[in-house]
């Protein structure tokens, strides 16, 4: 059965372009012209879609508000589309529960890479088998390798799935330096594009805000200038 993708955009031309592109790749596409319509559709199908492509700037209920309400009930991946690409905009998108962010104008190869990467990770996440708990630890920072849970000094950390994957990768490979490209391709599992570095840096900053006692002087996630990031 083809993966179901919901496109939410108040621009009919953009919806049509996306529909043609995605159906041509074999996806099953549904459309909504606004936030309320999108939420009503998800409610009618009980959230049974594999991906939501969501425009940020829409009349009425905006993309960030839609994502916040969506996250109250469903864990479906969300890819934001927007003409706004400042770091503060990226931060707002991820804070509202978005999984990835693509700035307009975008290339079709980059869009397809993001879509397929999100779908691949979602299918792995849904089908992950139960396993005996294993943990990686460094200086009181513990990451469960099977349950998307992490702790600092026995205090559970409230991490998004992407933040968890970044932290797990760094803690599992203590001492190894990961470049922006290494992190992006390992965590997002898709090719690295020019805009991908900013995505990684925003996630690292948000992760530090949750992990570090003082994010301005990180103790766990270290920056290795000119090279990347490491733990340990």
Domain spans in the chain, listed from the N-terminal domain onward? 4-126, 135-231
Q: Sign of torsion, CA 126 128 131 133?
A: negative
Write the DSSP assignment of 13-60 as a string of letters: HHHHHHHHHHHHTT-EEEEESSHHHHHHHHHHTTT--SEEEEESS-SS
Structural contact between residues 160 and 67, judged by C-beta atoms closer than 8 angstroms: no
What is the structure's pLDDT at 126? 63
User: CA–CA separation, 18 vs 108, rounded Å?
Assistant: 9
Domain 4-126, CATH number (from 3.40.630.10, 3.50.50.60, 3.40.50.720, 3.40.50.2300): 3.40.50.2300
What is the structure's pLDDT at 173? 87
Could you tell me the pTM of the whole model? 0.64
Average pLDDT for runs of 10 along the chain of length 232: 91 94 94 95 92 92 91 90 74 81 85 88 62 73 84 90 90 90 88 88 94 94 94 88
User: CA–CA separation, 116 vs 102, rounded Å?
Assistant: 13
What is the structure's pLDDT at 228? 94
What is the structure's pLDDT at 71? 87
> If DSSP codes are grouped into helix, strand and coil, which group holds residue 196?
helix
Asked whether the domain spanning 135-231 has the same topology as the one spanning 4-126, the reply is: no
What is the structure's pLDDT at 130? 43
Q: How far is the CA of 18 from the CAs of 27, 49, 67, 129, in angstroms?
A: 11, 16, 19, 33
Give the pairing of strands 100-103 and 78-82.
parallel
What is the structure's pLDDT at 100? 87
Domain 135-231, CATH number (from 3.40.50.2300, 3.90.1150.10, 1.10.10.10, 3.40.1390.20): 1.10.10.10
């Amino acid at each position: 059965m083809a993966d179901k993708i919901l496109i939410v955009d108040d621009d009919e031309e953009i919806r049509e372009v996306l529909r043609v592109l995605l159906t041509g790749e074999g996806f099953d596409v549904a459309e909504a012209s606004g936030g309320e319509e999108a939420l009503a559709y998800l409610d009618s199908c009980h959230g049974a879609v594999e991906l939501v492509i969501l425009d940020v700037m829409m009349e009425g209920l905006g993309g960030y508000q839609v994502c916040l309400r969506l996250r109250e009930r469903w864990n479906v991946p969300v890819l934001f589309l927007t003409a706004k690409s400042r770091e503060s905009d990226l931060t707002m998108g991820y804070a509202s529960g978005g999984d990835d962010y693509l700035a307009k104008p975008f290339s079709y190869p980059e869009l397809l890479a993001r879509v397929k990467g999100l779908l691949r990770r979602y299918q792995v996440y849904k089908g992950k088998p139960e396993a005996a708990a294993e943990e990686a630890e460094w200086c009181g920072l513990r990451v469960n390798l099977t349950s998307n849970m992490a702790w600092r000094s026995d205090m559970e950390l409230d991490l998004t799935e992407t933040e968890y994957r970044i932290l797990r990768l760094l803690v599992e490979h203590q001492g190894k330096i990961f470049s922006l490209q290494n992190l992006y391709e390992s965590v997002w599992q898709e090719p690295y594009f020019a805009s991908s570095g900013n995505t990684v840096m925003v996630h690292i900053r948000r992760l530090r805000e949750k992990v570090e006692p003082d994010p301005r002087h990180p103790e766990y996630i270290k920056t290795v200038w000119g090279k990347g990031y490491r733990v340990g």
